[in-house]
Structure 1
Amino acid sequence: MGNLRNLITDVPGLRVGNAHDEASATGVTVVVFDRPATAGLSIMGGAPGTRESALLEPEATVSAVDAIVLSGGSAYGLDAAGGVMQALAVQGRGFAIRDVRVPIVPQAILFDLLNGGDKPWARGEGEPPHRALARAAVASAGVDFPLGSVGAGYGATTVNLKGGLGSASTVTRTGHVVAALVAVNAVGSATIGDGPHFWAAPYEQNGEFGNHGMPATVDRRALEPRYKGGPGQNTTIAIVATDAVLTKAMAKRLAVVAHDGMGRALRPAHAPLDGDLVFAAATGARPLPEDDIYAFADLGAAAADCLARAIARGVYEATALPLPGALLAWRDLYQPKRLTE
């Protein structure tokens, strides 16, 4: 499959929309499926924030979702799913119950309340912007979208650099498309020590995050954990998607295996101080070959690699917020390396 965008929208049948509020330094990212998609969820961080997560369990009744939301705003941001539901209801989308429809919209949030933006709603003044941002994100959803400081990644940070929205895609040997989308708000670091090298460097493709590779040696001090903020102030939230036909149980297994990519790209990951999680979605356009017992395992390996790459891209593409004392971005410190060097 040629002409990949290296975005999650390389999986046919889904679109991505972003919206953010500069004053409050928070935002929303929405994945909208053209038709309901089978989905699962795996949570490995200790402090997650979610909505409609229980219905994704394999034994739950609802079999597919209309959209998935990634949002800033901590628990205040959970309003975003309501905005997406409103926008999809206008389109006639949703789970049919007699003469009404209920759009099925799972969501995860990250903590961006202390990044310098003015958030009066976190002090009990006014309404959070996430519901309106979500409607705007649905309206803007398309197959092309920017990375870095946009959408849910707008207010995201890591321990040492500005975080952001990242994405990556690939095609397995059976021709199935696998891709990832992530808002990187990590408790730890995506880079090795104080240099430009990413932990995800072994998985990089076509210089997508600077072509720096691994350092000649890794200083032992770079292996010492560094933590940002305190309990509940972090979370890396992601979606992996494929065009394969999967059951809900298989989607959950795909989400579990994709967490390997988080462990490869962030140090540390899955801490008790964050709510790291991965949604998995399958649009069901291409069955897996029945005579290939490793075809599904290949999807998991590809999803993990894509998530690692997407995390690095989210940090690489980010720009510092225009706020006093804002955390510097990777590009503020390191010039992208030319592929011809």
Structure 2
Amino acid sequence: MEPGRRNLITDVTGLRVGNAQDPALKSGCTVVTADAPFVASVHVMGGAPGTRETDLLAPDKTVTEVDALVLSGGSAFGLDACSGVVDGLRANGRGFPVGPVRVPIVPGAILFDLLNGGQKDWTQNPYAALGRAAFDAARAEFDLGTAGAGTGALTGMLKGGLGSASLRLDDGSMVGALVAANPLGSATTPGDRHFYAAPYEIGGEFGGFGSDSRSGLGRDLASRKRDLVSQGGNTTIAIVATDAHLSKSQCHRVAVAAHDGIARAIVPAHTPGDGDLVFALSTGAKPAGDAGLIGHAASLCLSRAIARAVFHATPAPGDLLPCWRDQNA
């Protein structure tokens, strides 16, 4: 398996991604959409998720396809980004048909970035406008690092961010991942040079420093530079995707498997203070694939995407934590 041409989730046929962010707010959102609805499901393993319309993605629920998925900062306020995306889809005549009416279906998930040094004294919730801007900006190429939903993200020791990666399977189908990494845990081993995801790195995509040769790489959470447990929340939220045809229940199994990618790349993962969540989608542009293999590939892509999120983060005024590049220049 090798990465696609872009090494982004948009290597999956038909997908587009849009980012919108406010540097002063130190927050933003990211939208995944396509020209046609796609099958999707979700699995949550964190103890503190924030979501919209995820119940609808259970395999037994009526609606099979959705029009977009949203990852956003802003905690509960950020769920309003989905409303902006709904407005954009409605303006384009998109949505689930109910008689003469079309209702856009836009599930979303949020991370907590309210205490990251940004200006949060708004009088009107800014996230609906950010969601609409991200939807309007959706395209095949998009920025990583301090962008979109990863704008204000922080890991245990360094700035987090937005990451993505892809793999082409032997049957020609594509698998990709997109993540906003803002975990309680760390993506880097003690010393913050090596990534926990290093065994899965391809072509130096996040520095090429390889695995940390030391044993016992767990770090004492009490030594972290910030205490997000007391601050109120964290979260790694992700979307994995394939163009192989999968059913809704198969997408759910892929989402479950993809959580292994979070656990490989972040230590610790899935804590009570994290809202770790993975959406899985299928555009169905190619013949049916092996859901087990796709789930495995999705987990590898997600590990790499998390490391790339941290690797590509860039400094900004008022940052609470340094960037990986600042520490390893």
Normalised TM-score (structure 1):
0.92
5 Å matches for 1:39-118? 39-118=40-119
Separation (CA, whole Å) in 2 of partners of 1:8 and 1:200:
18
Q: Read off the aligned partner of 1:138 and give its amino acid letter.
A: F
Deviations 1:46-103 (A, max 9, x none): 0000000000001100010000000000000110000000001000000011111110
Distance 1:332 1:280, change over 3 A: same
Q: Is the 8 A contact 1:84 1:135 kept in 2?
A: yes
Q: Read off the aligned partner of 1:4 and give its amino acid letter.
A: R
Name 1:339's counterpart in structure 2: none
Name 2:158's counterpart in structure 1: 161
Q: Is the 8 A contact 2:246 2:291 kept in 1?
A: no
Runs of 4+ in structure 1 over 3 Å off: 221-228
Q: Is the 8 A contact 1:95 1:102 kept in 2?
A: yes
Residues 1:135 and 2:132 aligned together:
yes
Name 2:229's counterpart in structure 1: 230
Name 2:253's counterpart in structure 1: 253
SS at match of 2:228: coil
Q: Is the 8 A contact 2:3 2:165 kept in 1?
A: no
5 Å matches for 1:1-341? 4-121=5-122, 126-218=123-215, 220=216, 222-225=218-221, 228-230=227-229, 232-288=232-288, 295-323=290-318, 326-335=320-329
SS at match of 1:120: coil
- Deviation at residue 221 of structure 1 after TM alignment: 5.7
Q: Read off the aligned partner of 1:234 and give its amino acid letter.
A: N
Distance 1:224 1:230, change over 3 A: closer
Separation (CA, whole Å) in 2 of partners of 1:315 and 1:221:
18
Q: Read off the aligned partner of 1:222 and give its amino acid letter.
A: G
- Could you tell me the percent identity over the aligned residues? 56
Q: Is the 8 A contact 2:158 2:323 kept in 1?
A: yes
Distance 1:236 1:108, change over 3 A: same
Greater mean alpha carbon deviation, residues 228-237 or residues 204-213: 228-237
Q: Is the 8 A contact 2:164 2:305 kept in 1?
A: yes
- Deviation at residue 2 of structure 1 after TM alignment: 8.3
SS at match of 1:230: helix
- Deviation at residue 173 of structure 1 after TM alignment: 1.9
Q: Is the 8 A contact 2:154 2:182 kept in 1?
A: yes
Deviations 1:22-56 (A, max 9, x none): 11111010001221100000000000000000000
Normalised TM-score (structure 2):
0.95
- Deviation at residue 334 of structure 1 after TM alignment: 0.3
SS at match of 2:229: coil
Q: Is the 8 A contact 2:29 2:134 kept in 1?
A: yes
Separation (CA, whole Å) in 2 of partners of 1:192 and 1:28:
28
Separation (CA, whole Å) in 2 of partners of 1:58 and 1:196:
41
- Deviation at residue 142 of structure 1 after TM alignment: 0.3
Q: Is the 8 A contact 2:261 2:303 kept in 1?
A: yes
- Deviation at residue 296 of structure 1 after TM alignment: 2.1
Q: Read off the aligned partner of 2:110 and give its amino acid letter.
A: I
- Deviation at residue 283 of structure 1 after TM alignment: 0.2
Q: Read off the aligned partner of 1:296 and give its amino acid letter.
A: A
- Say how many residue pairs are matched: 324
Separation (CA, whole Å) in 2 of partners of 1:84 and 1:187:
28
Q: Is the 8 A contact 1:321 1:327 kept in 2?
A: no
Q: Is the 8 A contact 2:3 2:168 kept in 1?
A: no
SS at match of 2:68: strand
SS at match of 2:79: helix
Deviations 1:255-292 (A, max 9, x none): 00000000000000000011000000000011226xxx
Distance 1:221 1:145, change over 3 A: closer
Name 1:338's counterpart in structure 2: none
Separation (CA, whole Å) in 2 of partners of 1:3 and 1:287:
18
Separation (CA, whole Å) in 2 of partners of 1:82 and 1:297:
34
Separation (CA, whole Å) in 2 of partners of 1:307 and 1:5:
15
Separation (CA, whole Å) in 2 of partners of 1:43 and 1:317:
26
Separation (CA, whole Å) in 1 of partners of 2:220 and 2:260:
20
Q: Read off the aligned partner of 2:295 and give its amino acid letter.
A: G
Separation (CA, whole Å) in 2 of partners of 1:129 and 1:331:
30
Q: Read off the aligned partner of 1:84 and give its amino acid letter.
A: V
Separation (CA, whole Å) in 2 of partners of 1:118 and 1:162:
17
- Deviation at residue 14 of structure 1 after TM alignment: 1.0
